[in-house]
Structure formats: C-alpha cells, structure tokens
Structure 1
Amino acid sequence: MTPPTAGSEGYADHDGKVDYGPFAHLTVPNTALYRSVMRVFTEAKERFAVHLRPEDVYAALAAPERPSDIEALTKALDSLADWGNLRADPDTARVTTPEDFYRKRFIYQLTQAGEAAEAALGTYNAALGRRGELQAVALHDIVGQLRALVVIAAQDEPDPAKTHLTLVALTERFIALADNARAFMGSLQRTIDLHGVEVDAFLAYKDRLIQYLERFIQDLITLGGRIAALIGTLTDQGDVQPLLRLAAAREAVDAAPDEAEQAEDEAYRRWQVRWRGLADWFVSEEGRESQAGLLRRRALGSIPQLLSVVRQLNDRRAGRSDRSADFRVLARWFAEAPDDAARHRLWRVAFGLHPARHLTVDGDTLEARTADPVPAATSWQEAEPVRISPQLRRTGSYERRGKPRRVADRTEARRQLAELAARQVRQTARARAALATGGETRLSRLGELDPVAFALFLRLLGDALSTWRPGMTRTVATSGDGSMEIRLTALDDGTRAEIRTPAGTFRGPDHLVEIVDLAEIRQDGPAPRTPPEHPKDQEDTDG
C-alpha cells in the first residue's frame, strides 16, 4: 500500500486495511503546533469556511502557538497534507503574472480522514476529563418509568408504541445512571489517592463532596428498594416478557420482509439483555449483591476515606511525622553520610540488618579472624568453615515424609451450610410476617420481638430515619432487597414507645408505623397501585 499523498481522500487499501496516517502528527516533534493548526481548521469548518490560506491560519493562531514566520507554518501545513489530515489545492485566485503561476501557492481544506481523527481525539479528551456524577434524579425517573410499565402491563392489550417508548426511556436513564456512577466513583478514587488533584482544591471542596455523597446515599436507600420491588413485580408476574416482545416487534417493522423474523428475534434478545442488566443492577440474589448495593457500600466507605485523607493532610501541615516524612529524612541522612561505612551502619540501624541469630561466633573465632582476616571477595569454598550451633538441628525446619494427605470430603459441611441458609431464610420470612402490621399502628404496640425480627426492624427504622429531613412528619422507605416497606409518621403527643427484646428494652419517641411485606404481596397477587411520593414520579407516570 502506498502512503497517502497530498489531496488523497481514501485511506483503505484493496484488502480493506485502514491507514492511521492522520494520527501521525501526535508522535512527532512540534505536536503542539500541529494540534493548534488542526483546531483552527475544525473551528473554521464550524463557521462553514471550506478553504484556508496559510495567511488565514497564521492570523487565527494564538500568539504563544504562532511560529516565528509563515514559512514554518507552511511546512507544517504541507506535513499535515502528506499525512492525510489536509488537502492542498493550487491557489490560482491570486495569480496576476506568469511568475505567480509557477510559484508554489496552495489553499488547504480539512479532509474526511482529518475530521474523523479530530473527532476521535475530542472523544478521547472528553473521556479522560469526565468526572461523572451520581444522578439522584435518574433514580426518580427510573421509578416513574417502571410504574408506567406496571400500568401498561395491567392492560388487556398494551399499546406497542407506548410500551416501546417507555422501555427506551427507561434503558436510556439506566445506562446514563450506570455510566455516570462508574465514572464518578473512578474520579472519586483518584481524588482519595490525590492523583492529579491539587491539595488546596481538595480541601476547599471536600465538605460539599461529602454532603453530595450523603444525599445520594439517602436517595439510593429510599428509591433503590422501591425500584427492586417494581422489577420484582414485573418479573414474578411474567408481565415483562410480553412487553419486551412488543418493543422488539415494533423495532423490526422497518426490516426487509425476508429478514423481519430474524430482526425481531435479535431485537428481543437485546431487550432481554437490557432488562437483565437493569435487574442485576438493583436486585440482589443469593450469593450475589446488586450493583446498587455495591455502589451504596462503596460510597459509604469513601466518606471515612476522604476524612482520613483530610486528617493526613492536616497532620502534614501541622508538622507531625508520618512514614513518608521519615523516609525523606532518612534519605537526607544517607546523602549527608561521610562515607560508605557510615551509610552501612545507618542501613543496619534503620532496617535491622543484623547477623543471623542461629550462627555463633566465640572468642577463638574472633581471634582467628583478627590474626588472619578473610577478604570479602574470598570464595566460600576457600574460606574457613563457619561453625553452626547444634540448636538449628533440633529446632530447624522439618518436612513430613510419606504419602500426601487425603482430600477432605466436604459433602457434610456443604449440607450443613445449605441447612443453615434454609433456616435463615425461614427465620427471615417469620420475622417479616411478625413485623407486617396490616395497617397503621403505634410503635408502642409492636410488643416483644425476637432477635431476628428486632434486627430486621432496626434496619427498616434506620432506612426510614436516614431519609428524614427537618420539618418532615412522614416518610416512606424500602429495604435494600425490596422485600419490606416502612411508613413512619411522627406524633406530637409526647408519648414514648418501648419494644422488649431478649437482650433488653428499646425506648424512644412514639410514632405511627406501617410495615408492609412486599414479597408476600407479590406472591399473593398484583402489587397495589400506590401514588408516587415524588412530583417528578407523578409526571412520568402520567406521561
């Protein structure tokens, strides 16, 4: 394949292999000048300017990026044309004499390959600089779209267009949420590690970052369980597969007649993968935690890490000693040591480089070594032997001889673990049944709870109180696995509640509480149509 020449537009040979010549300006000297010139042509294209003369490019370049004379710029333009980024055409518009006709004058235009290279570099820079964000609004949107799907699934004949549009909006919001969360957690880890982060800037915005994390965690606790419950409702009742089939059929309408069935099957498989990804993100299974749970745990863990980084920075500014400061001081001592002997002594003192304790040197050995010193370069074969204490023979390493141990049979242990897991599932089910109030009641009327039910109650109460804001009198929260929902209402009568447990008595202000077993509702019948608590959810449901 011949290299691209000036004015060439094709960058694939007969075998279909692509030539990456338009990226050659990134690995040569004067890369900054080439990037500036290409930026000028990209900006000119946005203004619908097709051709540029060297004088136009020279005037458009900023002062720090502008070469000393226009001849250096012309050479750069010719190099870009040789690589395929630009196309050079003879400039005959300013020819007035025969001498001008034979003089080398060109006007330059951005090629398709050059434009594609600039777009790729822009995407690369955007991905590197992307910080991401934790989108609490996307959680509200996902709840609204899932509720709309529940309403559509309850119809005798769901509308294909409305079903398809709802699923498209749901997957778009979910993909944006997942991508931004992944980018944000990556940038957060770089912030914790202080990679590419200014210390003063980090200290200036760490309070806002922690508040941002706490607010998103509260929204994830409130809405994550609700999303898991809605996904479980659609999946357990078998409503989602017909909806996915409707969306796939609508996407395959414009396919060729002989490819319609295959296109519908492929679209259906794509929708199944998307739905499975959504379910895995919010719904935990046995032996696998959901991505939302992992994100919640990671965000919770990052808060003490951020505080630890702040504490370390404050310690450094206050002059306190840490390991890195100790190593810097030790390095300075090594540099200031007068000779190698002093450096060896410093090494032994700092790192505990002492003789082996199982080797003994008595007075006779020392006198013999003093009388007849042994140079360090002497081979061990020629040197006098070193006497080793017999203690090493009695307490040294011992290797067991004989046949290897038999492989242990873990069948009984696995059976016991399975029985333990089944027993825990039954205990949790009994605890959910014991906590389900069947309506609104007072905390003081819950009575006595066993340890399993009390632990589940504390988790529910913690989820509800984590969403409480000043001025609120009522809140609703869902457990992380989407199996329980608690509705808590404050009372102003000043009464106190007591919940007795085998370990003691739990006391606190009395509230009205309603605990609903969502898993039991999904097994018995369709989920109740509850109005959304968030105004945005109401708008999405109506839509």
Structure 2
Amino acid sequence: MPAPPISLQATLFRHVSAEKALLYRRVMETFAAAKRQFRLHLRPDEVLADGTWDAQPPRIEEVQAALTQLTEWGNLESQPDTARVASLSDFYRARFLYRLSQGGEAVETALTTFARTLQRRAELQTVALEDITAQLQTLQALADEATPDAAKIHATLRDLVRVFESLADNAQAFMAGIGRSLELQQAQADAVLAYKRRLIDYLERFIGDLVSRSGGIAQRIESLSPRIEPLLWQAAQREARDSAPDDEAEHLDATTRSWQAWRERWRGLRRWFVTHAHEPPQAELLRSKARAAIPQLLAAIATLNERRSGRSDRSADFRMLAGWFAACDSDDEAHRLARAAFALNPARHFSLNPALKDGAPELPASTPWAEAPPLRIHPRLREYGEAAPRGALPRVQARDEERRLLAAQLQEEHAQIEAARQRLATGRPTRLSELGTLDTHAFALFLSLLGEALTAQTMPDEAVELQSSDGLLRIHLQPLDASSLAEIATPAGTFSGRDHQLTITRLDE
C-alpha cells in the first residue's frame, strides 16, 4: 500500500499543536483506549463519559465540535448512527458513530512510542546476562541433538536476540544519560549524596555481574560458533515460510535474506563478548564506561560543592554591573565606574618607566596616557614576556645538598624495587597462596605484574606467558581450580582471589 502524501501526514498531526490541543488529545486517547478494549465505535456521549479530563469535563457541544474537526483532519472516521432513532425527526438529525481511522491509529501509536521513549529510564540489565546464558545453554543442547527441532531453534534465537538487543539499547542509553549531570548539579545536597550512594552501589553490582558472567558467555559463544551455521539456516527456513506465496526462486531469496540477517545478529552478539581482530569486546567497553561514570558523578558533586561554597558567579557579577551602569546619572559617573570595575587606571608606576628628560619630575599616577611622554618597552619584554632585571646578576646558588638528597632518595627507591624483585622473581613456580606477607613495594610490583598477565588473558582458565612492560621480567601465570582461594597479607589489608601458579624470571641474569 503506497504511503499517504506529505500534506495528509502533516494534517494528521495538526491536533497536537492546535488551539484546543489538550481537548483533542484527550478525545484521541479515549478512542485509543476504546480500541484496546475492542470497541468498534463511540458516540459523543460515550466519549464524554469515558474520557479522562484534567479538570471540569467539557460540554457535549464541545466534544461534538472536536469530533467533527478530528474527522476533517482524518484522525477519525464517521458513519451515520441509526441505532437510537425513535422518530422520523431523529432519523433526519445528524447523528454519527466515530472510530479511529488508519492514519489516526498510526499517529496514536507514534505518539505513544514517543512519550514512552522520553519517559524510559535506561538501566543496566543484570537479569539479561542470566537470560543470555540460559538461551546459549539451550542452543548448545539443540546443537548436540542429531535432528534438532527447527521450531525450538527459531524460538530460542528469537528470544536470545530480543534479550540481547534490550541489553545493548539500555546500556547505551544509560551510559549516555549518566554524563548529563545538569539536574544533579541543581539538586539539594542531601539528594545528591543519596543518589551518589545508590548509583555507586548499582554500578558496582552490575560491573561485578558483568565480569563474572562475560567469561562464561564468551566460552559458550566460542563453542557454538563452529556449529551455529546449520541452526541459523533452519531458523531462516522456518521464518521464510511466512513470506508471501511466490515462485521457488523468490522463496529461496527470502530464505537467504533471513539467513544473512541471523548471521549478522550472531556476529553482533559475538563481538559484544568475544575479542575480534585485536578489538576489545563491547562488554569490556561497557565495563570501562561504567567505571568512568563514578568519576563523572564525583566531578558533578565537586561542582555542586563549589557553588555551595559561595564562589562568585561571573555571569551574575556582569548582570549586577550592568544594573549599576544603568543607574548612573551621567557619563562621567559611568566612566568612573568602568575605571574602577576594570582597573582602567594609568600605570605610570610601571617599573620600566624610563627616566624623563631634562630632569623633569616623575609624573603622578593620575596623568592620562595621552598627555604623558611615550613609554618605550624593551623588545625582550615583547618577545619573551619578561625583561632582564636591572642591576647585577644574582649569585649562582650551590645545589649540592639538594642533589645529594635526590641521589640518596633515588638510591633508596632503587634498593626497595630491587628487593621486591628479589622477593618475587625467583624463577620457580609459586602458588599465590604461598606468597605469605608482602611489603608495600613488593605488593605494588606484584599488582603491576598480575595486572599485565590478566590483561593478556582472553579466557579465565587460560595460561599466559609474557614479558613485563619494562623488559626485565618474564611472567608465567597458570590459573588453578576455580574454587581455590589465595590470600596475601599486605600493610594495607588482605588481598584475596582465585589461586594461580605464578612464575617470575629475571631476564637480566
């Protein structure tokens, strides 16, 4: 069916900005509710009775006039009402039944979607991660079957795509909206602090779930990837059955298009959780953005505290100054105010003021520039922003003591780092649970090396071997059982996590 002309499309939206837009919208909302209730037609008195009016209900004549206008614009359709005719005069009197037109129904759907989108609060869906894991488990079970059911495959893929699209859309909207701190900066301090605590808890819970579940989801996607093509083809074949009846070539073309669409959705899901061509997965980017939301929140709170601390607002100062200028009685007062406000006073006290000729006395500071002799500026001042001071050059200060202190501090830091390397770089496989107690410097080196090794991992159970960023150490990290636990005592507290076998070897020996 061809689309209606542009003029008709614009007419369908005229009731939104018309003079009686509120009345028109209430009438159209009444017809939309009636359609949801499977009611075919409405009479003017039924519209008046069923409508939701903000204040006093309108008169029946106003409702009748609104229905007539909406019919002219094309939002409603009318037909004669002969069901309540009791006499011949009633038959000839204009009575109509009204219902939504096709264009009016499309406009209502669009406005409802528009309002729902504006009111939607984006969220980070932890439950969606559970649903994705469950759907991938179902797909694995179907892939293991000798003759998988096409209906189950299609339903599982459809649910998986719907949950994944909801997760991606909400995550994108949440990350985009978290940076808009205008409302936050204008709120009360107590509300800001309460919101800060809730948001940080919310982000920490989501980041924890994302970290714990992303690895399992990536493993299932990797195991399914070699066997996913037949499943996608069966889903495309089942989906193509609903296409319009055509010849065999058209049916095959519809199947191929559906198959390509399913393959594209699967690639999007795979890139969300699995590294592709040295690019981090989208889940990793989402986690980094969620972490970055916390400093943004703290910056907004700092801005709020600055405003509460009584700092002057430049725009408010200029508005106040403009009021003072407007209150001046004469130009002389305005000029005096300008000199006082912007420090527009003579600067004859400038230190580079040259000696006046013929032994003339120094001019007072109130002398206008136009009446004073010219002030010659040294080229060095124009070029470098400073001029050589007058008089003898200052003595060269001896910095031997400062150099000695810096050398001693550098030697001490080098000794501490070397002791930490001697403590950890033994060249022997060591479990993290066997490290015992680490001092501040050894623990800092350990965290740096552990971070480099974990960053190189693509799977949680994968062993990695790499060279440290400074090129002095080689690290081999082998994960142990997932239920194992390692605890390391440090001056700042206890560091705990999954146990690993760590081998650190010095390369300079």
* 1:406-460 Cα deviation digits (max 9, x unpaired): xxxxxxxxxxxxxxxxxxxxxxxxxxxx9999xxx55216999999986352478
Secondary structure of the residue aligned to 2:275 is coil
Change (3 A) 1:51 1:331: same
Aligned equivalent of 1:248 = 236
* 1:494-534 Cα deviation digits (max 9, x unpaired): xx7589xxxxx999578772579xxxxxxxxxxxxxxxxxx
1:321 aligns with 2:313: no
> How do residues 178-197 of structure 1 correspond to structure 2 at under 5 angstroms?
178-190=168-180, 192-194=181-183
TM value normalised by structure 1? 0.62
Aligned equivalent of 1:416 = none
Mapped to 2, the partners of 1:248 and 1:261 lie a distance apart of 10
Task: State the Cα distance separating 1:269 from its structure 2 match.
Answer: 1.2
Tell whether the 8 Å contact from 1:86 to 1:111 is kept in structure 2 after alignment: yes
Secondary structure of the residue aligned to 1:288 is coil
Residue number among 452, 457, 461 corresponding to 2:450 in the alignment:
457
Tell whether the 8 Å contact from 1:67 to 1:73 is kept in structure 2 after alignment: no
Mapped to 1, the partners of 2:212 and 2:160 lie a distance apart of 19
Tell whether the 8 Å contact from 2:240 to 2:255 is kept in structure 1 after alignment: yes
Tell whether the 8 Å contact from 2:479 to 2:499 is kept in structure 1 after alignment: no
Greater CA radius of gyration, 1 or 2? 2
> How do residues 28-427 of structure 1 correspond to structure 2 at under 5 angstroms?
28-62=18-52, 64-66=54-56, 69-96=59-86, 100-153=90-143, 160-190=150-180, 192-194=181-183, 199=188, 204-235=194-225, 238-253=226-241, 256=246, 257-285=248-276, 288-313=279-304, 316=307, 319-322=308-311, 324=313, 326-337=314-325, 338-339=327-328, 369=370
Aligned equivalent of 2:405 = none
Q: Which amino acid aligns with 1:52?
A: L
Secondary structure of the residue aligned to 1:89 is strand
Mapped to 2, the partners of 1:240 and 1:447 lie a distance apart of 49
Relative to structure 2, which stretch is displaced further, 388-397 or 78-87?
388-397
Structure 1 residue ranges without an equivalent (≥5): 1-9, 372-385, 398-433, 463-475, 500-504, 517-543
Tell whether the 8 Å contact from 1:130 to 1:183 is kept in structure 2 after alignment: no
Task: State the Cα distance separating 1:122 from its structure 2 match.
Answer: 0.5
Q: Which amino acid aligns with 2:112?
A: G
Q: Which amino acid aligns with 1:12?
A: P
Tell whether the 8 Å contact from 1:58 to 1:70 is kept in structure 2 after alignment: yes
Secondary structure of the residue aligned to 1:108 is strand
Task: State the Cα distance separating 1:44 from its structure 2 match.
Answer: 2.8
Structure 2 residue ranges without an equivalent (≥5): 357-362, 385-426, 465-476, 503-509
Tell whether the 8 Å contact from 1:22 to 1:85 is kept in structure 2 after alignment: yes
Q: Which amino acid aligns with 1:247?
A: A
Change (3 A) 1:57 1:388: farther
Change (3 A) 1:254 1:452: farther
Mapped to 2, the partners of 1:269 and 1:283 lie a distance apart of 20
Secondary structure of the residue aligned to 2:484 is strand
Aligned Cα RMSD in Å? 4.9
TM value normalised by structure 2? 0.66
Change (3 A) 1:346 1:163: farther
Task: State the Cα distance separating 1:55 from its structure 2 match.
Answer: 2.9
1:513 aligns with 2:499: yes
1:22 aligns with 2:12: yes
Give the share of equivalent positions with the same residue, in percent. Answer: 37
Mapped to 1, the partners of 2:497 and 2:206 lie a distance apart of 26
Q: Which amino acid aligns with 1:455?
A: S
Q: How many residues align?
A: 421
Tell whether the 8 Å contact from 2:436 to 2:488 is kept in structure 1 after alignment: no
Aligned equivalent of 2:4 = 12
Q: Which amino acid aligns with 2:69?
A: S
Q: Which amino acid aligns with 2:4?
A: A
Change (3 A) 1:78 1:453: same
